[in-house]
């Protein structure tokens, strides 16, 4: 028989594990910064930082969506395709005219959300595993690009979009957008009932259902949001690049997942958060930049990121074994 | 090693087992003679499943030893147990649904030919023989998932037979068999026994026990009451062995009289075993729902909560018919369900306490979707005081609380929705004595406030001590309605197990 | 599933012998890898790394062979050995660290890709001439590569239907806990299945070398996805336990024919992606309706 009503289970290991799951990523970030300072001090130069922060913002916006999707035990691999789609749509719709920018962005958002809706429906109503569902959507989206543009990107990107390149020191518009979105979504996830329901859906869908939470609806909404965020990132990217390029979005899917995982969000849902992801984004981006600065070939980043994901998942897995 | 020809094929000595501080088996000693049918009976939670799992190697006993065929086996693995000749047929069928009948029978032990390949010819012919022995006419190539549950069970029996077991344990084999199928089963058991195989037969259906068993052992509250040849007992004696106990626990007395009917179900049936169930619950009343495992109690709870769809029948609340398509509807109508398995269905285990408590009433603590943390904190604090929940802070993750406190959180969560009807499925399972009493007191308090409670429990003492009325379920229907003051454990068991 | 096969032949308009030969040869590339992927999926697992593995193998084999006929065997053995090693590592991580196959092979995809691209980003190495010739060589009018594919198909079919190993694969995918209780060695089966998948993928790399003549790191793009699509439209359930080789072959052929048709019609690569996506969605929608709900609930 249990000894008393007040049994809080004594768990010697729990402080250490709590530490890792709660704060490990920040520790890793600090260590990484120190290492960076030693090996590649030029990381901290103004120009490098500026570029890096812009890339962080780009990745970070997508990572917000990816984090939320992972919180409901899902995955979104279609983000790359959505970004390219945004590019194409913006260029086509605005056709170089500055006044058309808002409409172009709006159109892109609508398309993006449709993709998210598709993802969500496949996953909830047809029970397709998220990996496969979003990959298939990616295929579809890419196919649609080709069908539409026939290989030749059309339209022109309006000049005014270059505004995203505005910067003061290393603070740039993308960075501000990223920070702004982060604040918004951190508040949503932690401070609204919607956010609570997201965590609940990921943590225990059956219990969530019995508590009256519309599980399917929550999941679909999260995928729609993720795609929407991808569109925003795409808009920024298009503004920066200035033209439509099929290949601008390579790597964002992996990187956003890596960032979320490193930041403590688990693949099985219910655990994690945006604050960790921010640190994750920084870590991933710093690593990528370091790779370039050290002079390693860019391709080694794949190896590094793959190992990082494995390491992060294993560590978090071990630390959480307490269940 | 002393291979003396023991009289017994199986001896289990002083077996004890606890789970997290709660004792499931205490010093159980049990002997089975070869070539006999040895029945094992006891109410829910008496420890039968635990004992069997230890025997099969799925669980390890904390102390005690097992001697099978003269050899000591204190640390079995399931593989070893199988190899030694112990075969268990569980209630939860161990079949791979997508594979065929023949494949399932030989799962893991496929006969091989010289090249290490599956000997299809032998597989099929042996399987065919087995099925004929059992008198079952099934196509060997049907996917097991396409069969009815009754046939699936027969396949399981064939599987056990194919393992050339010396001891076969059948855990509620007849639960879904009827009439001629049951007769077939008995014929098979009898032929097995003639061939020297021993059968341990677990069942709630006492008349079967009397028909087929040679010896019966009774477990109660984790202890062995006695083992006796069946000839020396009659039914009422057996029942008394199963349940007779002194009321040690004190239950808070009911000070309240039930009022009007608040919830009424008329002839509801579902795909999940419920068959024409009708009942009513009154305000301020506790209705106890008793029945054996598999009788449909949880299914009834789910149906009343909208978690399962009704195939027919209706539910009315305060006289008006209501349609529950999902739990959300039920919650809006002020009906709550405290589920049976809090880990799987009731709690968000990695989330903090306050998230768990407030999950059903997020609307109440938020303005335009934004959470009011202060309000939430107040609610948590109130709940903590009201239920004496032992916790460090509202931010603590629920997984760190003890079972009793976790259950309190679940209750607190559901009370937040100010329900008028609460369905509780095993409310004190895995809860220590102190917390149990607090929960009982809570239930009385709720009664006083006019809330109706439907309580499902496998502890008959609890049902008798807390309920005003008792409904007994069996195989998807309600078979009896009793006044708790006028009935006894024996009577309830009678109803729950009579054919 | 057989419907799929018939469907492909109906849509085929260019039934010239030369074209057909090409198509079947083309099918061997996707097919070998898809069959390997099927094995893994049957155990309710997945292997996302085969595309990158193929990439790596093409490079390694090209570099080692370096145009020298004496090196052919070394190159082949080494490449297959790499495949074997990768598969074993996958299974090891899944078995011992309890990581999900998705995570392990997802990370592996990038690690292998990284290794490949670090070695080179431009075509490198050379196949020896006689190795190259294997691509176009025919026996009785049928390309040798197609014989290889048929051989592999029969091998896998045999493995799944006739061997104990095969039955265990289905069991693990069908119901893991029952399989465990029945005494099936889950870890061993996993080692076998993931190794086979990787080795088959490695052999696909060799096939590519035969075709390209050099080690081009561009190879292998989206192979894993195509393989998975082929497997799924062929009727294999992603949750494991269900699927036939004939079905997968049907899927492979359907995809290959579609590709071929689109190329002949002048469509581009992305259109084929679009079409494949649509086929996949259709297949999933159809099959999910067939999928039975697993296991009756026998609750108290």
**Contact: B360, A209; criterion CB under 8 Å:** no
Q: What are the two backbone dihedrals, phi and then psi, of residue B482, each rounded to the nearest 5 degrees?
A: -125, 150
User: Given A4, A192, A212, which is nearest B371 (Cβ)?
Assistant: A192
**C neighbour chains, 3+ CB pairs within 8 Å:** A, B
Judged against a pLDDT cut of 50, whether residue C293 lies above it is answered with no
Residues of B in contact with A207 (CB under 8 A): 339, 344-348
Judged against a pLDDT cut of 70, whether residue C196 lies above it is answered with yes
Q: How far apart are CA A315 and CA A21, in angstroms?
A: 9
Q: How far apart are CA C238 and CA C43, in angstroms?
A: 9
- The distance from CA B468 to its chain's CA centroid, rounded to whole angstroms, is 23
**Contact: B399, A323; criterion CB under 8 Å:** yes
**Contact: B293, C164; criterion CB under 8 Å:** no
Residue-level pLDDT at A68 = 94
Residue-level pLDDT at C80 = 92
Reported as a single tens digit per residue, the pLDDT across B293-323 is: 778 888 888 888 888 888 888 888 888 888 8
User: Given C100, C113, C229, which is nearest A302 (Cβ)?
Assistant: C113
Query: Confidence class of residue A43 from pLDDT cuts 50, 70 and 90?
Result: confident
Q: What are the two backbone dihedrals, phi and then psi, of residue B287, each rounded to the nearest 5 degrees?
A: -105, 120
Please name the residue that has the structure tokens 């539409």: A148
Reported as a single tens digit per residue, the pLDDT across B449-473 is: 888 899 998 878 788 888 888 999 8
Higher pLDDT: C240 or A134? It is: A134
Q: How far apart are CA A271 and CA A20, in angstroms?
A: 13
Reported as a single tens digit per residue, the pLDDT across A246-264 is: 666 777 888 898 889 888 8
Return the half-sphere exposure (C-beta side, CA atoms, 13 A cut-off) of residue B92. Answer: 12
Considering chain B, what is the average pLDDT of its residues? 81
Q: How far is A205 from chain B (nearest CA, A)?
A: 9
Residues 6 or more apart whose CB falls under 8 angstroms from that of C238 comprise A128, A129, A132, C41, C46, C232
Q: Is-contact C280 C232, C-beta < 8 A?
A: yes
Strands (E), chain C: 138-139, 142-143
DSSP B299-360: HHHHHHHTSS--SEEEEEETTEEE--SSHHHHHHTTEEEE-S-IIIII--TTSBHHHHHHGG
> Does the beta carbon of A208 lie under 8 angstroms from any beta carbon of chain B?
yes
Query: Confidence class of residue C84 from pLDDT cuts 50, 70 and 90?
Result: very high
> Does the beta carbon of A8 lie under 8 angstroms from any beta carbon of chain B?
yes
Q: How far apart are CA C291 and CA C283, in angstroms?
A: 12
Mean pLDDT, range B485-489, rounded to an integer: 81
Q: How far apart are CA C121 and CA B102, in angstroms?
A: 53
Residues of chain C in Cβ contact (below 8 Å) with chain A? 46, 93, 97-100, 102-104, 106-118, 121, 225, 228-229, 232, 238, 268-278, 280-281, 284-285, 288
User: Given B82, B96, B294, which is nearest C174 (Cβ)?
Assistant: B96
**Contact: B403, A191; criterion CB under 8 Å:** no
**Contact: A8, B391; criterion CB under 8 Å:** yes
> Does the beta carbon of A4 lie under 8 angstroms from any beta carbon of chain B?
yes
Residue-level pLDDT at C296 = 28
Say which DSSP state B468 is in: S
DSSP A113-174: HHHHHHHHHHHHTS---HHHHHHHHHHHHHHHHHHHHTTS--S---GGGGGGG-EETTEEHH
Query: Confidence class of residue A230 from pLDDT cuts 50, 70 and 90?
Result: very high
**Contact: A131, C102; criterion CB under 8 Å:** yes
Mean pLDDT, range A27-40, rounded to an integer: 80
Residue-level pLDDT at A153 = 60
Query: Confidence class of residue A20 from pLDDT cuts 50, 70 and 90?
Result: low
Residues 6 or more apart whose CB falls under 8 angstroms from that of C116 comprise A299, C52, C55, C56, C59, C217
Percent of chain A with pLDDT strictly greater than 90: 18
Residue-level pLDDT at C294 = 35
pTM: 0.76
Best of C86, C102, C110, C238 to substitute, by most chain A Cβ atoms within 10 angstroms, is: C110
Integer CA distances (angstroms), C242 to B96, B189, C38, C250, in order:
11, 34, 10, 15
- Report the first-to-last Cα separation within chain B, whole angstroms: 47
**Contact: B458, C300; criterion CB under 8 Å:** yes
> Does the beta carbon of A147 lie under 8 angstroms from any beta carbon of chain C?
yes
Q: Which residues of B332-345 are buried (b: 16+ CB within 10 A; e: fewer)?
A: ebbbbbbbbbbbeb
Reported as a single tens digit per residue, the pLDDT across A6-17 is: 334 444 445 666
Higher pLDDT: A270 or B39? It is: B39
Reported as a single tens digit per residue, the pLDDT across C41-81 is: 999 888 989 888 998 888 888 888 877 777 788 888 999 99
**A neighbour chains, 3+ CB pairs within 8 Å:** B, C
Residue-level pLDDT at A213 = 87
Instruction: Report the largest interatomic distance among the alpha carbons of chain B, rounded to a whole angstrom.
Output: 79
Residues 6 or more apart whose CB falls under 8 angstroms from that of A141 comprise A78, A81, A82, A84, A85, A115
> Does the beta carbon of A299 lie under 8 angstroms from any beta carbon of chain C?
yes
**Contact: C118, A137; criterion CB under 8 Å:** no
Q: How far apart are CA A272 and CA A186, in angstroms?
A: 12
Integer CA distances (angstroms), C251 to A248, C146, C201, in order:
32, 17, 18
Integer CA distances (angstroms), B439 to A77, B252, B284, B378, B447, in order:
48, 10, 16, 21, 12
Residue-level pLDDT at C299 = 24
Q: Which of B175-179, B449-453, C7-11, C161-165 has the lowest mean pLDDT?
A: C7-11
Query: Confidence class of residue C15 from pLDDT cuts 50, 70 and 90?
Result: low
Judged against a pLDDT cut of 90, whether residue B397 lies above it is answered with no
Say which DSSP state B82 is in: H
Residues of B in contact with A208 (CB under 8 A): 348, 359
Residues 6 or more apart whose CB falls under 8 angstroms from that of C39 comprise C156, C160, C169, C193, C196, C197
């Amino acid at each position: 028989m249990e000894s008393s009503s007040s049994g809080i289970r004594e768990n010697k290991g729990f402080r250490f594990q709590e530490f890792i799951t709660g704060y490990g990523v920040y520790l890793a970030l600090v260590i990484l910064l120190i290492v960076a300072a030693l090996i590649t001090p030029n990381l901290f130069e103004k120009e490098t930082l500026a570029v890096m922060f812009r890339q962080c913002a780009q990745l970070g916006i997508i990572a917000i969506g990816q984090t939320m999707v992972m919180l409901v035990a899902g995955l979104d691999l279609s983000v790359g395709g959505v970004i390219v789609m945004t590019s194409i749509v913006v260029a086509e719709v605005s056709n170089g005219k500055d006044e058309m920018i808002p409409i172009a962005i709006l159109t892109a958002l609508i398309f993006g959300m449709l993709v998210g809706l598709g993802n969500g429906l496949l996953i909830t109503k047809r029970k397709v595993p998220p990996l496969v569902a979003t990959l298939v959507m990616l295929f579809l989206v890419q196919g649609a690009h080709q069908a539409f543009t026939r290989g030749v990107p059309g339209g022109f990107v309006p000049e005014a979009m270059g505004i995203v390149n505005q910067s003061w020191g290393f603070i740039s518009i993308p960075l501000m957008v990223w920070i702004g979105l982060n604040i918004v979504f951190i508040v949503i996830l932690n401070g609204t009932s919607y956010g609570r329901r997201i965590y609940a859906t990921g943590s225990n869908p059956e219990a969530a259902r019995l508590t009256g939470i519309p599980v399917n609806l929550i999941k679909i909404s999260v995928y729609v949001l993720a795609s929407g965020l991808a569109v925003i990132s795409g808009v920024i990217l298009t503004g920066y690049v200035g033209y439509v390029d099929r290949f601008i979005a390579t790597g964002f899917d992996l990187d956003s997942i890596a960032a979320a995982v490193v930041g403590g969000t688990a693949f099985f849902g219910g655990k994690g958060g945006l604050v960790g992801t921010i640190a994750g984004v920084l870590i991933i981006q710093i690593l990528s930049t370091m790779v370039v600065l050290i002079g390693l070939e860019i391709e080694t980043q794949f190896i590094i990121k793959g190992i990082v994901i494995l390491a992060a998942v294993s560590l978090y897995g071990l630390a959480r074994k307490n269940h | 090693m002393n291979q003396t020809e023991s009289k017994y094929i199986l001896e289990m000595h002083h077996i004890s087992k606890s789970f997290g501080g709660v004792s499931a088996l205490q010093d159980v000693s049990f002997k089975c003679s070869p070539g006999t049918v040895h029945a094992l009976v006891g109410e829910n939670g008496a420890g039968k499943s635990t004992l069997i799992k230890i025997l099969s190697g799925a669980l390890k006993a904390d102390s005690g030893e097992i001697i099978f065929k003269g050899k000591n086996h204190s640390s079995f693995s399931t593989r070893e147990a199988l190899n030694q000749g112990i075969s268990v047929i569980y209630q939860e069928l161990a079949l791979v649904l997508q594979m065929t009948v023949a494949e399932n029978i030989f799962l893991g032990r496929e006969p091989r030919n010289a090249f290490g390949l599956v000997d299809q010819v032998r597989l099929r012919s042996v399987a065919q023989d087995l099925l004929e022995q059992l008198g079952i006419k099934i196509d060997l190539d049907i996917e097991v998932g396409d069969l009815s549950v009754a046939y699936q069970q027969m396949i399981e029996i064939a599987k056990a037979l194919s393992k050339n077991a010396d001891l076969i344990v059948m855990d509620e084999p007849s639960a879904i068999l009827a009439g001629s199928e049951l007769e077939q089963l008995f014929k098979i058991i009898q032929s097995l026994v003639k061939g020297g195989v021993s059968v341990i037969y677990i069942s709630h259906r006492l008349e079967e026990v009397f028909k087929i068993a040679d010896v019966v052992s009774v477990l109660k509250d984790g202890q062995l009451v006695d083992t006796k040849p069946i000839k020396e007992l009659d039914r009422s004696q057996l029942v008394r062995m199963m349940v007779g106990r002194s009321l040690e626990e004190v239950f808070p007395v009911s000070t309240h009289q039930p009022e009007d009917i608040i919830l009424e179900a008329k002839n509801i049936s579902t795909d999940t075993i419920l068959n024409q169930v009708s009942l009513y619950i009154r305000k301020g009343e506790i209705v106890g729902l008793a029945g054996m495992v598999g009788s449909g109690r949880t299914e009834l709870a789910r149906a009343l909560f909208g978690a399962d769809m009704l195939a027919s029948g209706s539910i009315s609340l305060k006289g008006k018919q209501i349609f529950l398509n999902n739990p959300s509807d039920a919650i809006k109508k002020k009906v709550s369900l405290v589920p049976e398995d809090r880990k799987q269905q009731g709690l968000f285990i990695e989330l903090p306490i306050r998230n768990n408590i407030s999950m059903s009433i997020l609307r109440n603590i938020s303005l335009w979707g934004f959470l009011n943390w202060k309000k939430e904190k107040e609610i948590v604090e109130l709940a903590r005081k009201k239920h004496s929940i032992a916790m460090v802070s509202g931010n603590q993750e629920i997984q760190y609380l003890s079972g009793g406190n976790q259950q309190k959180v679940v209750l607190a969560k559901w009370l937040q929705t100010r329900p008028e009807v609460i369905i509780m499925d095993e409310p004190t399972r895995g809860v220590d004595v102190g917390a149990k009493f607090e929960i009982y007191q809570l239930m009385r308090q709720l009664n006083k406030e006019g809330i109706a409670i439907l309580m499902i429990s496998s502890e008959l003492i609890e049902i008798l001590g807390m309920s005003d009325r008792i409904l007994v379920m069996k195989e998807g229907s309600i078979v009896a309605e009793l006044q708790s003051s006028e009935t006894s454990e024996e009577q309830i068991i009678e109803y729950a197990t009579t054919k | 599933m057989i419907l799929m096969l018939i469907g492909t032949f109906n849509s085929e308009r260019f039934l010239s012998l030369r074209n057909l030969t090409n198509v079947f040869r083309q099918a061997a590339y996707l097919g070998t890898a898809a069959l390997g992927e099927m094995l893994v999926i049957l155990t309710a697992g997945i292997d996302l790394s085969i595309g990158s593995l193929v990439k790596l193998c093409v490079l390694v084999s090209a570099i080692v062979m370096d145009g020298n006929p004496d090196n052919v065997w070394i190159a082949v053995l080494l490449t297959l050995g790499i495949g074997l090693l990768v598969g074993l590592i996958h299974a090891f991580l899944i078995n011992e660290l309890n990581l999900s196959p998705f995570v392990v092979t997802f990370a592996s995809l990038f690690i292998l890709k990284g290794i490949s691209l670090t070695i080179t980003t431009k075509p490198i190495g050379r196949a020896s001439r006689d190795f190259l010739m294997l691509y176009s060589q025919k026996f009785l009018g049928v390309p040798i590569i197609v014989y290889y594919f048929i051989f592999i198909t029969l091998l896998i079919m045999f493995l799944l239907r006739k061997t104990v190993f095969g039955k265990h694969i289905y069991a693990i995918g069908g119901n893991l806990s029952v399989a465990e209780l029945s005494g099936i060695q889950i870890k061993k089966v996993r080692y076998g299945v993931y190794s086979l998948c990787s080795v088959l993928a490695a052999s696909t790399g060799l096939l590519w070398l035969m075709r390209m003549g050099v080690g081009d790191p561009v190879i292998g793009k989206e192979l894993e996805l195509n393989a998975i699509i082929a497997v799924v439209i062929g009727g294999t359930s992603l949750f494991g336990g269900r699927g036939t080789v004939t079905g997968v072959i049907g899927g492979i052929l359907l995809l290959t024919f579609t590709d071929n048709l689109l190329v002949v019609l002048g469509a581009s690569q992305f259109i084929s992606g679009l079409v494949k996506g649509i086929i996949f969605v259709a297949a999933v929608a159809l099959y999910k309706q067939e999928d039975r709900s697993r296991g009756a609930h026998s609750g108290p």
